[in-house]
Amino acid sequence: MASLHESRFGFVHHCLILVLLSAFYFSCSSSVYVSDPPLSLDYYKKTCPTVLEIVRREMECAVLSDPRNAALILRLHFHDCFVQGCDGSVLLDDTITLQGEKKAPNNKDALKGFRILDRIKNLLESECPGIVSCADILTVAARDAVLLVGGPYWDVPLGRKDSRTVGYELSNTNLPTANDGLLSIISKFIYQGLSVTDMVALSGAHTIGMARCVNFRDRIYGDFPVTTAVDPLSMNYLKTLKSQCPPVGEDNKEAAMDYLTPNLFDNSFYHILLRGEGLINSDQELYTSAFALQTRKLVKKYAEDQVAFFEQFAESMVKLGNITEPDTFVDGEVRRNCRFVNT
C-alpha cells in the first residue's frame, strides 16, 4: 500500500504508468489508495459546528436558482483534486507572482462557480473566522451539489488545508480531456490512486452539466480517434448537435452531456453510452473502445442498476476527495479568501 502511494509522486510520466497498466487493468477492481493526513468526519465539531448547515443552505439557494450550478461545483472539485490533491489550488486567481490554474488550457473558459464558493467562504469567515479551508468547503459543496439534483449522499471526511501554490503545468498533464483515449484516461486515474471502477463510476458525473462545442466537434464531424465502428450517434441527435455546433467557430456553445435528463443525477448517462450517443468521445470510449473490456461491463452494470452506480459513485467520491499532496499539508493554510493565499 505504501509503495503504491509513494510511487504516485515518483512517476512523473504517464507513459510509465501505461507500461504497468495492463497488470492493474486486469487485476484491480478497487483502489488501494489511502490518504495521509488525518481527515475526520467531526473535524469542525468544536471549532465551527454549523459548517455543514451553512454550506448546504447556500448550495440549496445556488441549485434552486440554477441546477447547472450543481455541475459547475462538482467539476471544480474534480479539477481541484487532480492537480496537487484537494487543496483549493484551482480557486486561486492569477497575481503578478502566481499563474493560477484557471487559465491553464484544460480549464480556460470551462470552469465556473467561483462566486458560489466566495459567498460560502464569506459566510463562514463571519461565523468562524480562519477555521474552514476552501478545499473542505469545495468538497462538501460538491457532495451537496450531487445530493440536491437527486444523487447519493456520502459523509465527507474533513480537515484539508489550502495550498499556497498552484499547479499550472499539472493542470495540463493530469486532467483528462475529451480527446483522450481510454488507456490515457485510465492511466490518469491510476496515477491519482483511483481504479478503473472509480473512473467509470466518477464519469457518471456527466449525467449533469454541459460540454462546449470545442469539446465535441471532432466527435460529431467524424475527426476523432475511432476505435470501433459501433458508436453511432443517431441521425436526429447528430443533426441537432451539428446545428448547435458548426464545423468552425462557436467554440463555447454548449450542449447537455445527458440529453435525456440533463439536470437530474441518475444513471441515464450510461444508457446514452449503450446507445452510442455519448457526447464527448472520451465518454463513449468507456463502452466502445477496443480496450473497453472491463469498462464496458461496468457501463452495462450501472445502466441496469442505479443503486449500484450510486453506491460506487459515493465511495469513489470519498476517494477522490481524499487525494492529497503531502506538501500541501505541511505548508498548507486556511485561506481567508479562496482566491488568494494569505499574506
Numbered residues of the known binding site for substrate? 176
Least distance (Å) between residue 333 CB and ligand HEM: 26
Binding part of the chain for ligand HEM, among 171-179, 217-225, 230-238, 264-272 by CB under 6 A, reads 171-179
Please report which residue ranges of 192-305 form alpha helices under DSSP H: 196-203, 213-220, 235-244, 268-274, 281-288, 293-304
Question: Judged by CB, which is closer to ligand HEM: 280, or 341?
Answer: 280
Q: Say how many residues touch ligand HEM, by CB under 6 A.
A: 25
Q: Which residues of 30-50 are buried (b: 16+ CB within 10 A; e: fewer)?
A: ebebebebebeeebbeeebee
Cα–Cα distance measured from residue 313 to residue 230, given in angstroms and rounded to the nearest whole number: 27
Q: Report if residue 102 touches ligand HEM, rule: CB under 6 A.
A: no
Question: Judged by CB, which is closer to ligand HEM: 91, or 208?
Answer: 208
Strands of the chain, DSSP E: 210-212, 254-256
Binding part of the chain for ligand HEM, among 35-43, 151-159, 172-180, 262-270 by CB under 6 A, reads 172-180
Handedness of CA 35, 37, 43, 48 (dihedral sign): negative
Q: Report if residue 81 touches ligand HEM, rule: CB under 6 A.
A: no
Distances (CA, A) of 185 to 18, 73, 254, 302: 10, 21, 23, 19
Least distance (Å) between residue 96 CB and ligand HEM: 28
Binding part of the chain for ligand HEM, among 20-28, 95-103, 151-159, 195-203 by CB under 6 A, reads 195-203
Instruction: Identify whether 77 is a catalytic site residue.
Output: no
Q: Report if residue 110 touches ligand HEM, rule: CB under 6 A.
A: yes
Q: Which of residues 202-221 bind ligand HEM (CB under 6 A)?
A: 202-203, 205-206, 208-212, 215
* Joined grid coordinates for residue 125: 469567515
Determine the residue type at 12: V
List the one residue from 156, 185, 314, 338 that touches ligand HEM (CB under 6 A). Answer: 185
Binding part of the chain for ligand HEM, among 66-74, 87-95, 131-139, 158-166 by CB under 6 A, reads 66-74
Q: Report if residue 194 touches ligand HEM, rule: CB under 6 A.
A: no
* SS3 assignment, position 162: strand
Q: Name the catalytic one among 13, 14, 77, 79.
A: 79
* SS3 assignment, position 211: strand
Determine the residue type at 106: N
Distances (CA, A) of 237 to 43, 216, 302: 48, 13, 23
Q: Which are the catalytic amino acids? A: 79
Binding site for ligand HEM (CB under 6 A): 68, 71-72, 74-75, 78, 110, 176-178, 180, 185, 199, 202-203, 205-206, 208-212, 215, 280, 282
